[in-house]
Structure 1
Amino acid sequence: MPRTVNTDDFHKKHEVRDQDYAKTIPCNELSVSAPFHWLALGLHDLIRMPIISAFYGLCFTAASVAIVLLVQWQGTHLVIMPSLVVYMLIGPFLALGLYDAAWEREKGHKPSLFHSMKAIGRNSTSQWAFAVLLAVAMIFWMRIAALLHALYPSVQGAPLTDFAPFLITGSVVGAVIASIIFSISAFSIPLMMERRVDVMTAVFTSFNAVKSNIPAMIVWALVICGGILIGFATYGIGMIITMPILGYGTWHAYHETIKKKHNS
Protein backbone atom coordinates (compact mmCIF):
# COMPACT_ATOMS: atom_id res chain seq x y z
CA MET A 1 0.00 0.00 0.00
CA PRO A 2 1.50 3.40 -0.93
CA ARG A 3 2.67 5.53 1.94
CA THR A 4 0.70 8.76 2.49
CA VAL A 5 2.82 11.86 2.05
CA ASN A 6 3.02 13.91 5.24
CA THR A 7 3.98 17.57 5.05
CA ASP A 8 6.01 17.08 8.25
CA ASP A 9 8.41 14.91 6.28
CA PHE A 10 9.50 17.90 4.26
CA HIS A 11 9.91 19.98 7.40
CA LYS A 12 12.05 17.33 9.06
CA LYS A 13 14.20 17.00 5.99
CA HIS A 14 14.75 20.74 5.98
CA GLU A 15 15.97 20.60 9.60
CA VAL A 16 18.96 18.40 8.70
CA ARG A 17 20.90 21.39 7.59
CA ASP A 18 24.30 19.74 7.32
CA GLN A 19 23.00 17.36 4.63
CA ASP A 20 22.59 20.15 2.08
CA TYR A 21 25.20 19.74 -0.63
CA ALA A 22 27.93 22.35 -1.09
CA LYS A 23 26.66 24.78 1.51
CA THR A 24 28.69 27.13 3.70
CA ILE A 25 28.26 26.75 7.45
CA PRO A 26 28.65 30.09 9.29
CA CYS A 27 31.67 30.78 11.47
CA ASN A 28 32.44 32.76 14.62
CA GLU A 29 34.71 35.77 14.86
CA LEU A 30 38.10 34.99 16.42
CA SER A 31 40.66 37.05 18.27
CA VAL A 32 44.28 37.10 17.13
CA SER A 33 45.32 35.35 20.35
CA ALA A 34 42.90 32.42 19.82
CA PRO A 35 45.56 30.13 18.25
CA PHE A 36 47.63 30.22 21.43
CA HIS A 37 44.57 29.08 23.38
CA TRP A 38 44.13 26.16 20.96
CA LEU A 39 47.80 25.32 21.39
CA ALA A 40 47.43 25.28 25.18
CA LEU A 41 44.37 23.01 24.91
CA GLY A 42 46.31 20.72 22.57
CA LEU A 43 49.17 20.48 25.06
CA HIS A 44 46.69 19.66 27.81
CA ASP A 45 45.20 16.87 25.68
CA LEU A 46 48.69 15.52 24.99
CA ILE A 47 49.35 15.23 28.71
CA ARG A 48 45.97 13.66 29.43
CA MET A 49 46.17 11.12 26.56
CA PRO A 50 49.84 10.03 26.41
CA ILE A 51 49.34 6.60 24.81
CA ILE A 52 47.09 7.78 21.98
CA SER A 53 49.30 10.82 21.44
CA ALA A 54 52.46 8.71 21.29
CA PHE A 55 50.92 6.28 18.79
CA TYR A 56 49.90 8.94 16.29
CA GLY A 57 53.02 10.97 16.95
CA LEU A 58 55.14 7.93 16.07
CA CYS A 59 53.09 7.41 12.89
CA PHE A 60 53.80 10.98 11.78
CA THR A 61 57.44 10.53 12.77
CA ALA A 62 57.76 7.33 10.73
CA ALA A 63 56.34 9.09 7.65
CA SER A 64 58.71 12.04 8.10
CA VAL A 65 61.76 9.82 8.63
CA ALA A 66 60.83 7.82 5.54
CA ILE A 67 60.87 11.02 3.44
CA VAL A 68 64.27 12.07 4.83
CA LEU A 69 65.78 8.61 4.30
CA LEU A 70 64.35 8.42 0.79
CA VAL A 71 65.99 11.73 -0.12
CA GLN A 72 69.33 10.58 1.30
CA TRP A 73 69.09 7.18 -0.39
CA GLN A 74 68.19 8.60 -3.81
CA GLY A 75 70.75 11.39 -3.47
CA THR A 76 68.33 13.88 -5.05
CA HIS A 77 65.67 16.30 -3.85
CA LEU A 78 63.42 15.39 -6.78
CA VAL A 79 61.72 12.75 -4.63
CA ILE A 80 60.64 15.26 -2.01
CA MET A 81 57.52 16.49 -3.81
CA PRO A 82 56.22 12.98 -4.73
CA SER A 83 56.80 11.96 -1.12
CA LEU A 84 54.86 14.96 0.10
CA VAL A 85 51.97 13.98 -2.17
CA VAL A 86 51.82 10.61 -0.40
CA TYR A 87 52.12 12.43 2.91
CA MET A 88 49.13 14.59 1.97
CA LEU A 89 47.12 11.42 1.37
CA ILE A 90 47.88 9.68 4.68
CA GLY A 91 48.24 12.76 6.89
CA PRO A 92 44.53 13.65 7.10
CA PHE A 93 43.66 10.09 8.11
CA LEU A 94 46.24 10.06 10.88
CA ALA A 95 44.87 13.38 12.11
CA LEU A 96 41.38 11.87 12.28
CA GLY A 97 42.46 9.71 15.21
CA LEU A 98 43.63 12.76 17.12
CA TYR A 99 40.40 14.64 16.37
CA ASP A 100 38.33 11.68 17.58
CA ALA A 101 40.30 11.41 20.83
CA ALA A 102 39.86 15.13 21.55
CA TRP A 103 36.16 14.84 20.69
CA GLU A 104 35.69 11.92 23.07
CA ARG A 105 37.31 13.87 25.91
CA GLU A 106 35.13 16.84 25.09
CA LYS A 107 32.02 14.67 25.44
CA GLY A 108 33.20 13.38 28.82
CA HIS A 109 34.02 9.90 27.47
CA LYS A 110 37.24 7.98 28.01
CA PRO A 111 39.19 8.04 24.72
CA SER A 112 40.63 4.78 23.43
CA LEU A 113 43.12 4.03 20.69
CA PHE A 114 40.77 1.54 19.05
CA HIS A 115 37.91 4.04 18.95
CA SER A 116 40.16 6.71 17.47
CA MET A 117 41.31 4.34 14.73
CA LYS A 118 37.69 3.62 13.81
CA ALA A 119 37.27 7.33 13.02
CA ILE A 120 39.01 6.65 9.70
CA GLY A 121 35.84 4.93 8.51
CA ARG A 122 33.55 7.78 9.52
CA ASN A 123 32.42 9.58 6.36
CA SER A 124 35.27 7.89 4.50
CA THR A 125 33.95 8.81 1.03
CA SER A 126 34.24 12.55 1.64
CA GLN A 127 37.53 12.11 3.50
CA TRP A 128 39.12 10.19 0.64
CA ALA A 129 37.80 12.72 -1.85
CA PHE A 130 39.42 15.49 0.16
CA ALA A 131 42.72 13.61 0.45
CA VAL A 132 42.76 13.17 -3.33
CA LEU A 133 41.96 16.88 -3.72
CA LEU A 134 45.01 17.75 -1.60
CA ALA A 135 47.18 15.36 -3.62
CA VAL A 136 46.01 16.93 -6.89
CA ALA A 137 46.80 20.38 -5.48
CA MET A 138 50.31 19.21 -4.59
CA ILE A 139 50.82 17.77 -8.10
CA PHE A 140 49.61 21.07 -9.60
CA TRP A 141 52.09 22.88 -7.36
CA MET A 142 54.86 20.59 -8.62
CA ARG A 143 54.01 21.37 -12.25
CA ILE A 144 53.98 25.12 -11.58
CA ALA A 145 57.37 24.81 -9.87
CA ALA A 146 58.73 22.94 -12.89
CA LEU A 147 57.52 25.70 -15.21
CA LEU A 148 59.04 28.40 -13.02
CA HIS A 149 62.33 26.54 -13.13
CA ALA A 150 62.69 27.84 -16.68
CA LEU A 151 63.41 31.26 -15.15
CA TYR A 152 66.66 29.97 -13.68
CA PRO A 153 69.79 31.61 -15.13
CA SER A 154 71.46 29.29 -17.63
CA VAL A 155 74.94 30.33 -16.50
CA GLN A 156 76.39 28.85 -13.33
CA GLY A 157 77.56 31.36 -10.77
CA ALA A 158 75.25 34.07 -12.10
CA PRO A 159 74.75 37.11 -9.84
CA LEU A 160 71.83 37.20 -7.42
CA THR A 161 70.03 39.79 -9.53
CA ASP A 162 69.68 37.19 -12.30
CA PHE A 163 67.82 34.94 -9.86
CA ALA A 164 65.43 37.72 -8.81
CA PRO A 165 62.65 36.93 -11.36
CA PHE A 166 62.60 33.27 -10.30
CA LEU A 167 62.76 34.02 -6.57
CA ILE A 168 60.05 36.68 -6.67
CA THR A 169 57.68 34.80 -8.97
CA GLY A 170 58.23 31.50 -7.19
CA SER A 171 57.64 33.05 -3.77
CA VAL A 172 54.44 34.80 -4.83
CA VAL A 173 52.99 31.76 -6.61
CA GLY A 174 54.01 29.46 -3.76
CA ALA A 175 52.45 31.75 -1.16
CA VAL A 176 49.17 31.94 -3.11
CA ILE A 177 48.90 28.17 -3.58
CA ALA A 178 49.90 27.48 0.03
CA SER A 179 47.28 29.98 1.26
CA ILE A 180 44.55 28.32 -0.81
CA ILE A 181 45.49 24.83 0.40
CA PHE A 182 45.55 26.00 4.01
CA SER A 183 42.22 27.80 3.62
CA ILE A 184 40.36 24.77 2.28
CA SER A 185 41.93 22.33 4.73
CA ALA A 186 42.02 24.25 8.03
CA PHE A 187 38.68 22.88 9.28
CA SER A 188 37.56 20.46 6.57
CA ILE A 189 38.58 17.12 8.08
CA PRO A 190 37.10 17.61 11.58
CA LEU A 191 33.92 19.00 10.00
CA MET A 192 33.53 15.95 7.76
CA MET A 193 34.17 13.65 10.71
CA GLU A 194 31.77 15.23 13.20
CA ARG A 195 28.88 16.27 10.96
CA ARG A 196 29.42 13.86 8.04
CA VAL A 197 29.08 16.67 5.49
CA ASP A 198 30.10 16.35 1.86
CA VAL A 199 33.57 17.42 0.76
CA MET A 200 32.41 20.62 -0.96
CA THR A 201 30.53 21.80 2.13
CA ALA A 202 33.67 21.17 4.17
CA VAL A 203 35.86 23.05 1.69
CA PHE A 204 33.51 26.04 1.35
CA THR A 205 33.02 26.27 5.12
CA SER A 206 36.73 26.10 5.85
CA PHE A 207 37.58 28.68 3.21
CA ASN A 208 34.92 31.06 4.52
CA ALA A 209 36.11 30.65 8.12
CA VAL A 210 39.71 31.42 7.18
CA LYS A 211 38.70 34.38 4.99
CA SER A 212 36.58 35.79 7.84
CA ASN A 213 39.39 35.49 10.41
CA ILE A 214 42.55 36.27 8.44
CA PRO A 215 44.70 37.66 11.34
CA ALA A 216 44.00 34.69 13.63
CA MET A 217 44.45 32.23 10.78
CA ILE A 218 47.81 33.71 9.82
CA VAL A 219 48.99 33.17 13.38
CA TRP A 220 47.62 29.61 13.38
CA ALA A 221 49.30 28.85 10.03
CA LEU A 222 52.63 30.10 11.41
CA VAL A 223 52.18 27.93 14.50
CA ILE A 224 51.52 24.87 12.33
CA CYS A 225 54.51 25.60 10.10
CA GLY A 226 56.67 26.04 13.19
CA GLY A 227 55.59 22.68 14.58
CA ILE A 228 56.25 20.89 11.29
CA LEU A 229 59.65 22.58 10.88
CA ILE A 230 60.63 21.52 14.39
CA GLY A 231 59.65 17.98 13.48
CA PHE A 232 61.73 17.85 10.30
CA ALA A 233 64.65 19.73 11.91
CA THR A 234 64.85 16.95 14.52
CA TYR A 235 64.70 14.23 11.81
CA GLY A 236 61.07 13.55 12.65
CA ILE A 237 61.58 12.93 16.36
CA GLY A 238 59.99 16.22 17.34
CA MET A 239 56.78 15.22 15.57
CA ILE A 240 56.07 12.75 18.36
CA ILE A 241 55.12 15.83 20.38
CA THR A 242 54.34 18.56 17.88
CA MET A 243 51.89 16.68 15.65
CA PRO A 244 49.56 15.48 18.46
CA ILE A 245 49.50 18.99 19.93
CA LEU A 246 48.68 20.47 16.53
CA GLY A 247 46.08 17.77 15.88
CA TYR A 248 44.28 18.34 19.16
CA GLY A 249 44.66 22.08 18.70
CA THR A 250 43.03 21.85 15.28
CA TRP A 251 40.02 20.12 16.79
CA HIS A 252 39.61 22.89 19.38
CA ALA A 253 40.14 25.48 16.64
CA TYR A 254 37.35 23.89 14.62
CA HIS A 255 34.94 23.80 17.55
CA GLU A 256 35.60 27.42 18.44
CA THR A 257 35.42 28.67 14.86
CA ILE A 258 32.56 26.83 13.13
CA LYS A 259 29.12 27.59 14.49
CA LYS A 260 27.34 24.71 16.18
CA LYS A 261 24.48 22.89 14.50
CA HIS A 262 21.09 23.99 15.84
CA ASN A 263 18.36 21.41 16.23
CA SER A 264 15.02 23.17 15.96
Structure 2
Amino acid sequence: MVKTIGNPLSWTARGIANAAGHMTQTVERIGGEEQVTPKVRTLTSEDIRAVLRQGYADFAAARSDVMFICLIYPAIGVLLAAVALNTNLLPILFPVAAGFALVGPLAAIGLYEVSRRREKGEEVSWLAALRVVQSPNFGAIMVLGLYLAALFVAWLVVAHFIWLVTLGPMPPISVPAFLADVFTTGAGWAMIVLGMAAGFCFALAVLVTSVVSFPLLLDHNIGVPTAIVTSYEVFRKNPKVIVTWGFLVAVLLLLGSIPAFIGLIIVLPVLGHATWHLYRRAVTF
Protein backbone atom coordinates (compact mmCIF):
# COMPACT_ATOMS: atom_id res chain seq x y z
CA MET A 1 0.00 0.00 0.00
CA VAL A 2 1.27 3.43 -0.91
CA LYS A 3 1.73 5.64 2.16
CA THR A 4 0.10 9.00 1.58
CA ILE A 5 0.70 12.26 3.30
CA GLY A 6 -1.94 12.85 5.95
CA ASN A 7 -3.99 15.98 6.21
CA PRO A 8 -2.45 18.93 8.08
CA LEU A 9 -4.55 18.32 11.20
CA SER A 10 -3.40 14.71 11.63
CA TRP A 11 0.22 15.64 10.89
CA THR A 12 0.09 18.43 13.48
CA ALA A 13 -1.46 16.09 16.05
CA ARG A 14 1.31 13.53 15.54
CA GLY A 15 3.94 16.27 15.83
CA ILE A 16 2.47 17.53 19.09
CA ALA A 17 2.32 13.99 20.47
CA ASN A 18 5.96 13.33 19.57
CA ALA A 19 7.06 16.64 21.10
CA ALA A 20 5.14 15.87 24.27
CA GLY A 21 6.86 12.49 24.50
CA HIS A 22 10.31 14.06 24.18
CA MET A 23 9.39 16.71 26.75
CA THR A 24 8.26 14.04 29.21
CA GLN A 25 11.53 12.15 28.81
CA THR A 26 13.52 15.35 29.36
CA VAL A 27 11.58 16.22 32.52
CA GLU A 28 12.11 12.70 33.85
CA ARG A 29 15.85 12.93 33.26
CA ILE A 30 16.01 16.34 34.91
CA GLY A 31 14.35 14.80 37.93
CA GLY A 32 17.08 12.15 38.06
CA GLU A 33 16.90 8.38 38.32
CA GLU A 34 19.10 7.63 41.33
CA GLN A 35 17.12 7.58 44.56
CA VAL A 36 19.99 8.48 46.86
CA THR A 37 20.48 11.03 49.61
CA PRO A 38 23.88 12.75 49.55
CA LYS A 39 25.54 13.20 52.92
CA VAL A 40 27.40 16.42 53.68
CA ARG A 41 30.73 16.40 55.48
CA THR A 42 32.32 19.03 57.68
CA LEU A 43 35.08 20.97 55.93
CA THR A 44 38.06 22.88 57.31
CA SER A 45 40.47 25.44 55.92
CA GLU A 46 42.93 22.60 55.31
CA ASP A 47 40.46 21.18 52.78
CA ILE A 48 40.72 24.39 50.76
CA ARG A 49 44.50 24.14 50.67
CA ALA A 50 44.27 20.45 49.76
CA VAL A 51 41.82 20.92 46.87
CA LEU A 52 43.96 23.70 45.42
CA ARG A 53 46.97 21.36 45.47
CA GLN A 54 44.89 18.62 43.83
CA GLY A 55 43.53 21.10 41.29
CA TYR A 56 47.02 22.17 40.31
CA ALA A 57 48.11 18.52 40.04
CA ASP A 58 45.23 17.84 37.62
CA PHE A 59 46.09 20.98 35.67
CA ALA A 60 49.76 19.95 35.38
CA ALA A 61 48.84 16.43 34.31
CA ALA A 62 46.09 17.27 31.82
CA ARG A 63 47.38 20.61 30.47
CA SER A 64 43.85 21.96 30.44
CA ASP A 65 45.27 25.43 29.85
CA VAL A 66 45.38 24.62 26.13
CA MET A 67 41.60 24.35 26.03
CA PHE A 68 41.17 27.64 27.86
CA ILE A 69 43.55 29.41 25.51
CA CYS A 70 41.45 28.17 22.59
CA LEU A 71 38.10 29.10 24.12
CA ILE A 72 38.64 32.16 26.29
CA TYR A 73 41.18 34.32 24.52
CA PRO A 74 39.18 34.74 21.28
CA ALA A 75 36.19 35.82 23.37
CA ILE A 76 38.31 38.25 25.40
CA GLY A 77 39.85 39.61 22.21
CA VAL A 78 36.45 40.22 20.64
CA LEU A 79 35.23 41.97 23.80
CA LEU A 80 38.30 44.23 24.05
CA ALA A 81 38.16 45.04 20.34
CA ALA A 82 34.49 45.95 20.63
CA VAL A 83 35.21 48.24 23.58
CA ALA A 84 38.13 49.85 21.77
CA LEU A 85 35.91 50.62 18.78
CA ASN A 86 32.87 51.71 20.76
CA THR A 87 33.18 53.66 24.02
CA ASN A 88 29.45 53.12 24.58
CA LEU A 89 30.39 49.61 25.75
CA LEU A 90 32.85 50.80 28.41
CA PRO A 91 30.29 50.76 31.26
CA ILE A 92 29.57 47.06 30.72
CA LEU A 93 33.21 45.94 30.38
CA PHE A 94 33.76 45.33 34.09
CA PRO A 95 30.28 43.83 34.71
CA VAL A 96 30.84 41.35 31.88
CA ALA A 97 34.32 40.41 33.11
CA ALA A 98 33.18 40.13 36.73
CA GLY A 99 30.02 38.31 35.73
CA PHE A 100 32.03 35.47 34.21
CA ALA A 101 32.34 34.08 37.73
CA LEU A 102 28.56 33.66 37.79
CA VAL A 103 28.61 31.18 34.90
CA GLY A 104 32.01 29.73 35.82
CA PRO A 105 30.55 26.58 37.46
CA LEU A 106 28.94 25.65 34.13
CA ALA A 107 31.92 26.70 31.99
CA ALA A 108 34.15 24.37 34.02
CA ILE A 109 32.06 21.24 33.38
CA GLY A 110 34.76 19.80 31.11
CA LEU A 111 37.36 20.33 33.85
CA TYR A 112 35.22 18.39 36.32
CA GLU A 113 35.07 15.53 33.83
CA VAL A 114 38.86 15.56 33.40
CA SER A 115 39.34 15.37 37.18
CA ARG A 116 36.69 12.66 37.49
CA ARG A 117 38.36 10.53 34.84
CA ARG A 118 41.83 11.05 36.28
CA GLU A 119 40.56 10.06 39.73
CA LYS A 120 39.13 6.82 38.33
CA GLY A 121 42.23 6.05 36.28
CA GLU A 122 40.35 6.45 32.98
CA GLU A 123 41.48 8.09 29.75
CA VAL A 124 42.21 11.78 30.27
CA SER A 125 41.96 13.96 27.18
CA TRP A 126 39.87 16.86 26.01
CA LEU A 127 38.17 14.60 23.49
CA ALA A 128 37.15 12.32 26.34
CA ALA A 129 36.11 15.29 28.47
CA LEU A 130 33.82 16.57 25.73
CA ARG A 131 31.88 13.32 25.98
CA VAL A 132 30.24 14.88 29.00
CA VAL A 133 27.45 15.81 26.57
CA GLN A 134 26.62 12.09 26.41
CA SER A 135 25.96 11.98 30.14
CA PRO A 136 22.42 10.82 31.00
CA ASN A 137 22.22 13.84 33.29
CA PHE A 138 23.35 16.38 30.69
CA GLY A 139 19.82 17.79 30.42
CA ALA A 140 19.79 18.51 34.14
CA ILE A 141 23.21 20.15 33.87
CA MET A 142 21.92 22.43 31.11
CA VAL A 143 18.83 23.36 33.14
CA LEU A 144 21.03 24.44 36.04
CA GLY A 145 23.24 26.23 33.53
CA LEU A 146 20.24 28.21 32.28
CA TYR A 147 19.65 29.33 35.85
CA LEU A 148 23.21 30.69 36.02
CA ALA A 149 22.81 32.33 32.61
CA ALA A 150 19.64 34.04 33.84
CA LEU A 151 21.51 35.34 36.89
CA PHE A 152 24.29 36.61 34.61
CA VAL A 153 21.80 38.53 32.45
CA ALA A 154 20.05 39.88 35.55
CA TRP A 155 23.41 41.07 36.89
CA LEU A 156 24.15 42.93 33.65
CA VAL A 157 20.73 44.60 33.80
CA VAL A 158 21.27 45.67 37.41
CA ALA A 159 24.82 46.88 36.69
CA HIS A 160 23.59 48.92 33.73
CA PHE A 161 20.84 50.46 35.86
CA ILE A 162 23.40 51.39 38.54
CA TRP A 163 25.52 53.10 35.88
CA LEU A 164 22.47 54.96 34.56
CA VAL A 165 21.57 56.44 37.96
CA THR A 166 25.17 57.36 38.81
CA LEU A 167 27.39 58.23 35.84
CA GLY A 168 24.89 57.80 33.00
CA PRO A 169 23.09 58.11 30.77
CA MET A 170 25.54 59.92 28.47
CA PRO A 171 28.19 57.52 27.08
CA PRO A 172 31.85 58.06 28.05
CA ILE A 173 33.91 60.32 25.82
CA SER A 174 37.03 58.17 26.14
CA VAL A 175 38.61 55.53 28.36
CA PRO A 176 40.69 58.03 30.40
CA ALA A 177 37.65 60.26 30.88
CA PHE A 178 35.54 57.32 32.01
CA LEU A 179 38.19 56.17 34.51
CA ALA A 180 38.50 59.71 35.85
CA ASP A 181 34.73 59.88 36.37
CA VAL A 182 34.74 56.52 38.15
CA PHE A 183 37.58 57.20 40.59
CA THR A 184 37.48 60.97 41.14
CA THR A 185 33.78 61.77 41.49
CA GLY A 186 31.17 61.03 44.12
CA ALA A 187 28.91 59.50 41.49
CA GLY A 188 31.72 57.20 40.41
CA TRP A 189 32.33 55.96 43.93
CA ALA A 190 28.59 55.52 44.41
CA MET A 191 28.59 53.30 41.33
CA ILE A 192 31.48 51.27 42.74
CA VAL A 193 29.84 50.76 46.14
CA LEU A 194 26.40 49.92 44.73
CA GLY A 195 27.93 47.66 42.09
CA MET A 196 29.99 45.75 44.64
CA ALA A 197 26.94 45.30 46.90
CA ALA A 198 24.81 44.03 44.03
CA GLY A 199 27.62 41.83 42.75
CA PHE A 200 28.07 40.29 46.19
CA CYS A 201 24.38 39.33 46.29
CA PHE A 202 24.53 37.66 42.88
CA ALA A 203 27.80 35.90 43.70
CA LEU A 204 26.38 34.60 46.99
CA ALA A 205 23.31 33.24 45.20
CA VAL A 206 25.53 31.34 42.77
CA LEU A 207 27.87 30.12 45.50
CA VAL A 208 25.08 28.77 47.70
CA THR A 209 23.25 26.96 44.90
CA SER A 210 26.15 25.67 42.80
CA VAL A 211 29.24 25.19 44.97
CA VAL A 212 28.96 21.41 44.45
CA SER A 213 25.81 21.00 42.33
CA PHE A 214 27.44 20.73 38.89
CA PRO A 215 30.05 18.11 39.89
CA LEU A 216 27.29 16.25 41.74
CA LEU A 217 25.06 16.17 38.65
CA LEU A 218 28.01 14.96 36.58
CA ASP A 219 28.89 12.24 39.07
CA HIS A 220 25.39 10.94 39.82
CA ASN A 221 22.13 10.78 37.88
CA ILE A 222 20.16 12.75 40.45
CA GLY A 223 17.72 15.60 40.03
CA VAL A 224 18.41 19.32 39.88
CA PRO A 225 16.44 20.01 43.10
CA THR A 226 18.53 17.43 44.98
CA ALA A 227 21.76 18.95 43.65
CA ILE A 228 20.75 22.48 44.66
CA VAL A 229 19.57 21.39 48.12
CA THR A 230 22.83 19.48 48.64
CA SER A 231 24.84 22.53 47.62
CA TYR A 232 22.86 24.64 50.07
CA GLU A 233 23.46 22.08 52.83
CA VAL A 234 27.20 22.19 52.15
CA PHE A 235 27.06 25.96 52.59
CA ARG A 236 24.83 25.76 55.68
CA LYS A 237 27.07 23.23 57.39
CA ASN A 238 30.32 24.96 56.41
CA PRO A 239 29.51 28.67 55.97
CA LYS A 240 32.94 29.97 56.94
CA VAL A 241 34.83 27.56 54.70
CA ILE A 242 32.53 28.06 51.69
CA VAL A 243 32.54 31.87 51.99
CA THR A 244 36.34 31.71 52.24
CA TRP A 245 36.39 29.54 49.13
CA GLY A 246 34.16 31.99 47.26
CA PHE A 247 36.31 34.95 48.33
CA LEU A 248 39.46 33.10 47.27
CA VAL A 249 37.96 32.34 43.86
CA ALA A 250 37.04 36.01 43.38
CA VAL A 251 40.52 37.21 44.38
CA LEU A 252 42.30 34.69 42.15
CA LEU A 253 40.08 35.59 39.19
CA LEU A 254 40.83 39.28 39.75
CA LEU A 255 44.58 38.66 39.98
CA GLY A 256 44.44 36.37 36.95
CA SER A 257 42.83 39.16 34.93
CA ILE A 258 45.79 41.51 35.49
CA PRO A 259 47.28 42.21 33.05
CA ALA A 260 45.30 41.38 29.91
CA PHE A 261 43.72 38.25 31.44
CA ILE A 262 46.99 36.30 30.99
CA GLY A 263 46.86 34.73 34.44
CA LEU A 264 43.51 33.13 33.68
CA ILE A 265 45.39 30.54 31.60
CA ILE A 266 46.39 28.96 34.91
CA VAL A 267 43.80 30.27 37.37
CA LEU A 268 40.66 29.08 35.60
CA PRO A 269 41.72 25.46 35.02
CA VAL A 270 43.15 25.10 38.53
CA LEU A 271 39.96 26.45 40.11
CA GLY A 272 37.82 24.21 37.93
CA HIS A 273 39.74 21.08 38.87
CA ALA A 274 39.83 22.17 42.52
CA THR A 275 36.04 22.54 42.56
CA TRP A 276 35.70 18.87 41.65
CA HIS A 277 37.90 17.88 44.57
CA LEU A 278 35.99 20.22 46.89
CA TYR A 279 32.82 18.37 45.92
CA ARG A 280 34.47 15.00 46.61
CA ARG A 281 35.51 16.16 50.08
CA ALA A 282 32.17 17.80 50.88
CA VAL A 283 29.72 15.13 49.68
CA THR A 284 29.51 11.39 50.21
CA PHE A 285 26.85 8.71 49.73
Give the TM interval when normalised to the shorter protein: 0.7 to 0.9
Deviation at 1:54, TM superposition (A): 2.3
* Counterpart check, 1:218 vs 2:237: no
Aligned equivalents of 1:257 and 1:79: distance in 2?
36
Is 1:126 the equivalent of 2:144? no
Larger radius of gyration between Structure 1 and Structure 2: 2
Letter in 2 for 1:125: G
1:73 aligns with 2:98: no
Q: Counterpart of 2:244 in structure 1: which amino acid? A: V
Q: Is the 8 A contact 1:31 1:216 kept in 2?
A: yes
Q: What secondary structure, in the 3-state scheme, does the structure 2 residue paired with 1:235 have?
A: coil
Distance in structure 2 (CA, Å) of the matches to 1:230 and 1:167: 18
**Structure 1 residue 189: Cα displacement:** 1.1
Segment drifting more, 208-217 vs 58-67: 58-67
Q: CA RMSD in A?
A: 3.3
Q: Shift of the alpha carbon at 1:195? A: 0.5
Aligned match of 2:115 = 102
Amino acid at match of 1:62: P
109, 128, 135: which is aligned to 1:115? 128
Give the drift of 1:33.
3.0
2:40 is equivalent to residue 27 of structure 1: yes
Alpha-carbon distance change, 86 to 246 in structure 1, aligned in 2, over 3 angstroms:
closer
Q: Given that residues 102 and 203 in structure 2 are in contact (C-alpha distance below 8 angstroms), is that contact kept between their aligned partners in structure 1?
A: no
Q: Which residue of 2 aligns with 1:135?
A: 149
The change in CA–CA distance for 1:172 and 1:221 in structure 2 (over 3 A counts) is: same
Identity of aligned residues (%): 22
SS at match of 1:110: coil
CA distance in 1, matches of 2:92, 2:162: 18
Shift of the 86–230 alpha-carbon distance from structure 1 to 2, 3 Å rule, reads closer
Aligned twin of 2:158: 144
Instruction: Identify if the C-alpha distance between structure 1 residues 87 and 63 changes in structure 2 by more than 3 Å, giving closer, same or farther.
Output: farther
Unaligned runs of 5+ in 1: 1-14, 19-23
What is the correspondence of 1:198-237 to structure 2 with a 5 Å cutoff?
Answer: 198-237=223-262
How far does the alpha carbon of each residue in 1:143-162 deviate from its partner, in whole angstroms, 9 at most, with x for none?
A: 333444465389x98x9667
Q: Does residue 184 in structure 1 map to residue 209 in structure 2?
A: yes
SS of corresponding position for 1:30: coil
Note closer, same or farther for the CA distance 1:121–1:180 as it changes in structure 2 (3 Å cut): same
Contact 2:68 2:265 in 1 (8 A): yes
| Distance change >3 Å, CA 99–CA 57, structure 1 → 2 | farther
Unaligned runs of 5+ in 2: 1-32, 169-179
* Contact 1:57–1:240 (CA under 8 A) maintained in structure 2: yes
Q: CA deviation at 1:30?
A: 0.5
Aligned residue type for 1:68? L
Contact 2:35 2:222 in 1 (8 A): no
String of CA shifts for 1:109-162, please: whole Å, max 9, x gaps.
2312211111133222112111111111122223333444465389x98x9667
